């Protein structure tokens, strides 16, 4: 296992925390992707156009004043990551909507349960509901309760989506947290840009905690995407994180992590991954060599 990735130095130097995180802040009015435009227009009643863009920018700025996270500064939350996953249309929606014709759906009893770990502003939760998933099936969890509040301001849907469907603040490493209410009840866990926030040991702990949330049967699923690098290893973390380093995976190390988790728990998992180019950031000219985005699915056997 690699202990130090070539990514370590560039990540440390370009994190932006030395200059107010300016490298990870887009101060322009956002160009909102089509799917998010439609969600804000038809679900939230905020017309597409300048009014919608200004609304998004104002609430993004409000959130960023409290938490200088790249996902906010670079408007990444507008991407609706879950809906871009290859399993979204062929498995996630059919299963949660109760389509008996979909693969594996007949083996699941109703109601199904979806949990978005690190839900941020709850954008993927809202997209699921807009796409026809019953509200009763969908939950989000985050370390920061403020994100839930800003999410309601962004989507203007307090009458549609009860606050009880968000668990925040909650720490996945706290065994006594409200997450225990979901133990062995979750059919699909979405963990986007989540595991790579931690070092190897904490990723193992987080993975084991996620497994505890899953229904104890074949076909339960964890899916998402995260940063990857052609040479896996620990890299310096940003200030305020749980540990001083974060483990960036390649495809082999990610599968090895789940093999380790399975061995410790006496379980086995089928892990599938795919890589795509890492998106260029405004203001960052030199893309990190070897960096990519890894989409993953982890099935309980």
- pLDDT of the residue at 109: 60
Q: What does the pLDDT look like over 189-199, one tens digit per residue?
A: 999 999 999 99
Q: Which CATH topology does 80-300 take? A: Rossmann fold (3.40.50)
Given a cut of 60, is residue 19 above it in pLDDT? no
Tell me whether residue 48 is exposed, middle or buried, using C-beta atoms within 10 angstroms of its C-beta: 0 to 12, 13 to 18, 19 or more. Answer: middle
Distances (CA, A) of 268 to 115, 172, 191, 264: 21, 22, 19, 10
- pLDDT of the residue at 211: 99
Cβ atoms of 46 and 126 closer than 8 Å: no
Cα 151 to Cα 295: distance, rounded to the nearest angstrom:
25
Domain segments of the chain as ranges: 80-300
Which helix (H) or strand (E) segment is 94 a member of?
A: helix 93-96
Distances (CA, A) of 133 to 21, 111, 127, 175: 37, 11, 9, 29
Least confident of 20-29, 239-248, 274-283: 20-29
Q: What does the pLDDT look like over 234-276, one tens digit per residue?
A: 999 877 778 889 999 999 999 999 999 999 999 999 999 999 9
Q: Mean pLDDT, to the nearest integer, of 163-188?
A: 96
- pLDDT of the residue at 108: 56
Least confident of 94-108, 242-256, 284-298: 94-108
Q: What does the pLDDT look like over 33-57, one tens digit per residue?
A: 999 999 999 999 999 999 999 999 9
- pLDDT of the residue at 278: 83
What global pTM score does this model have?
Answer: 0.89
Residue 101 binned pLDDT confidence (cut-offs 50, 70, 90): low
Angle of the 145-155 helix axis to the 123-130 helix axis, nearest 10: 40
SS3 121: coil
Cβ atoms of 87 and 224 closer than 8 Å: no
Given a cut of 50, is residue 76 above it in pLDDT? yes
């Amino acid at each position: 296992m690699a202990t130090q990735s070539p990514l370590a130095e560039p990540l440390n130097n370009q994190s932006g925390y030395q200059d107010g995180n300016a490298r990870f802040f887009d101060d322009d009015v956002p160009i909102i992707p089509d799917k998010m435009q439609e969600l804000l227009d038809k679900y939230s009643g905020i017309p597409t156009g300048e009014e919608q863009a200004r609304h998004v920018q104002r609430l993004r700025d409000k959130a960023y004043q409290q938490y200088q996270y790249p996902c906010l500064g670079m408007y990444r939350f507008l991407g609706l990551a879950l809906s871009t996953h290859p399993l979204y249309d062929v498995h996630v929606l059919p299963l949660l909507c109760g389509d008996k014709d979909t693969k594996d759906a007949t083996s699941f009893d109703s109601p199904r349960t979806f949990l978005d770990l690190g839900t941020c502003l709850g954008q993927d939760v809202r997209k699921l509901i807009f796409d026809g998933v019953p509200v009763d099936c969908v939950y989000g969890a985050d370390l920061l309760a403020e994100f839930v509040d800003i999410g309601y301001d962004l989507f203007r849907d307090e009458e549609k989506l009860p606050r009880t469907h968000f668990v925040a603040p909650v720490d996945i490493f706290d065994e006594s947290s409200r997450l225990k209410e979901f133990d062995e009840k979750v059919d699909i866990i979405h963990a986007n840009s989540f595991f790579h926030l931690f070092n190897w040991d904490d990723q193992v702990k987080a993975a084991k905690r996620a497994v505890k949330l899953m229904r104890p049967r074949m076909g339960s699923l964890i899916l998402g995407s995260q940063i990857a690098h052609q040479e896996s290893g620990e890299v310096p973390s940003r200030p305020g994180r749980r540990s001083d380093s974060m483990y960036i995976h390649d495809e082999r190390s990610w599968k090895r992590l789940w093999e380790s988790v399975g061995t410790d728990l006496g379980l086995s998992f089928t892990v599938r991954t795919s890589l795509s180019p890492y998106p260029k950031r405004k203001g960052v000219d030199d893309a990190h060599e070897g960096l990519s985005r890894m989409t993953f699915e982890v099935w309980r056997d």
